[in-house]
Structure 1
Amino acid sequence: MDEQRQVMVTEAARLAAELPLSAVITLAHTLERLGDAASHEARRAQVFQAVPQPSQRAHVRTLLDEWLQRAADIPALEVALALRAAVAATRRAREQQHIELVWTGPLAVGVSMRRTDQALLQVINSARQELLIVSFAVYKIPVIAEAIVRAATRGVAIRICVEAPEPSGQKMAYDTIRALGTEVGAMTTIYIWPANQRFTDSSGRTGVLHTKCAVADRRLLFLSSANLTEYALNLNMELGALIYGGGEPETVAAQFERMIAEGILQKAQ
């Protein structure tokens, strides 16, 4: 029984690290409500109904399978308790936040800030499970592209959201999707903001995807004025922040996950 409990504790901790904490709490509440009266298949159906997003269901399915196959004697209330404990521990760890400023350009004497390119590389290189990268422009970034490919090779699920010339009314001088390179395109999932999902003003002008950020494993967030371009990473004057822990990395990741799930952001063709 102790070994089975350890299996569920490990799975609960994994789930809390991989999913929004609100989704884990919903799962715990569902298991508490169902208890052990329901069959495993009935619990699975109810859990999937409570966790509707496909990407989240995949993680939950792993926990349910491990429970059935390796820890079937553990009651539902114990699994729910393990999930709630994992949420509390994860939340506390994320509250221990640290922020560094990130900069491209001339530095004043006595001022110390992280280089923009090095901070972004740190985020990409640190990712072990999932990585989100968002940029308006992409151009001549071989070192960043190589880091993205390495991350994909080690099994990181990578989503890249970029502006594209067609939906933005040809505002871009080049094709951002092609600028990522064929290898990055083949190993990641690329999303754009289609024209029919964009806000328009009274003159019919549409907004653009102008965000620049990256999130690794919902625990490390890079925010910057810098696009993914050679100039922005090396020549321009750009300012940003690298945020370790806290709720912000998860919030940004969840925001883009919701927009993808709702079709606001769609896979590039």
Structure 2
Amino acid sequence: MMERLPGLLAKLARRLPTDRLTDYDAALRAAEGPEDQALDQFAAANPAAGLTHHLDAIRQAWREEAPGLPGTAIALALTTAMAPEASETERSIQLVVSGPVSPAIPVRLTGGVTVDVIRSARESLLIASFAAFGVIELVSELRLAVGRGVRVDLVLEESTAAARAFTTLQNGVRIWHRVNASAPGVLHAKLIAADRHTALLGSANLTDHALGMNIELGVILSDPLTVGRIVDHFRWLTSPEAGVLRLVWTT
């Protein structure tokens, strides 16, 4: 009978983002065998979609096919299985969700990713949202970003009064609205772009429910060429010659 363990490890290596693979590698290396309680603790501490499901399957195959192998050997097999032929595009796109998670595909959670992207900025942050409400943690992160010299542009829909969520911010922040708020259509884009290297695109508005409880879906882009084009598009939207967005607040 064909062994399942190598196939499970290869499948995991193809589907998980690099940071998740690093977490798995560390957990497996710390385990003496498939019954090690350290693996139970790892699964409990990492409830993101896919982790427990994949780990359970690997542990079951491990105990059935190679129970004498230590965790270091399984970790080595996982590292070997990491597909070197995987394209840079595949590695530069990761899925993000809010709300319920499933074992169908490994993802990261929107609230945590939002903070990570903001913290990764060193020069500029470009943020667009249809609505904004609450998000105290996000506002605090933006304040810290401004403090380290990051220029922040908030492109917001005026009809939802989204700008009110950011009234406590000072210095280094600019807020943009559509030139004609009464014209048909709305600003519906949701974007957080750090410098020109990372962008979060998705369905989630900047609200506590959207970042944590709603059923939302998005992607993280880590391809500087693609992110740069997105940033350039929004810079054009804010330019006087475009006549699309107007500056309504600068500090």
Q: Which has more helix, going by share of residues? A: 1
Distance in 2 between residues matched to 1:104 and 1:259, nearest whole Å: 29
- 1:162 corresponds in structure 2 to 156
Aligned-pair Cα RMSD in Å: 2.0
**Is the counterpart of residue 249 in structure 1 residue 227 in structure 2?**
yes
- 1:264 corresponds in structure 2 to 244
Distance in 1 between residues matched to 2:90 and 2:153, nearest whole Å: 26
- 2:129 corresponds in structure 1 to 135
- 2:174 corresponds in structure 1 to 189
**Deviation of 1:251 (Å):** 0.7
Counterpart pick for 2:190 among 182, 188, 212: 212
> What secondary structure does 1:268 align onto?
strand
**Deviation of 1:105 (Å):** 1.5
Structure-to-structure mapping, 1:102-141, within 5 angstroms: 102-109=96-103, 111-141=105-135
Give yes or no for contact 2:196–2:224 (8 Å, CA) kept in 1: no
Give yes or no for contact 2:150–2:172 (8 Å, CA) kept in 1: no
Distance in 2 between residues matched to 1:254 and 1:116, nearest whole Å: 24
TM-score w.r.t. the length of structure 1 is 0.56
Q: Which one scores higher on RCO, CA 8 angstroms, separation ≥ 6?
A: 1
Q: Given residue 217 of structure 1, which amino acid in structure 2 is its aligned partner?
A: D
- 1:12 corresponds in structure 2 to none
Residues 247 and 95 of structure 1: CA distance in aligned 2, closer, same or farther (over 3 Å): farther
Counterpart pick for 1:178 among 164, 167, 182: 164
> What secondary structure does 1:232 align onto?
helix
Residues 213 and 260 of structure 1: CA distance in aligned 2, closer, same or farther (over 3 Å): same
Residues 97 and 179 of structure 1: CA distance in aligned 2, closer, same or farther (over 3 Å): same
Distance in 2 between residues matched to 1:246 and 1:267, nearest whole Å: 27
Give yes or no for contact 1:139–1:229 (8 Å, CA) kept in 2: yes
Would you identify which runs of 4 or more consecutive aligned residues in structure 1 move more than 2 Å? 94-97, 109-112
> What secondary structure does 2:169 align onto?
helix
Structure-to-structure mapping, 1:80-91, within 5 angstroms: none
Count of matched residue pairs: 160
Distance in 2 between residues matched to 1:232 and 1:96, nearest whole Å: 26
Gaps of 5+ in 2: 1-87
Gaps of 5+ in 1: 1-93, 166-171, 201-205
**Deviation of 1:97 (Å):** 5.7
Deviations 1:95-147 (A, max 9, x none): 79611100011112364210001111111000001110000000000000000
Deviations 1:80-104 (A, max 9, x none): xxxxxxxxxxxxxx97961110001
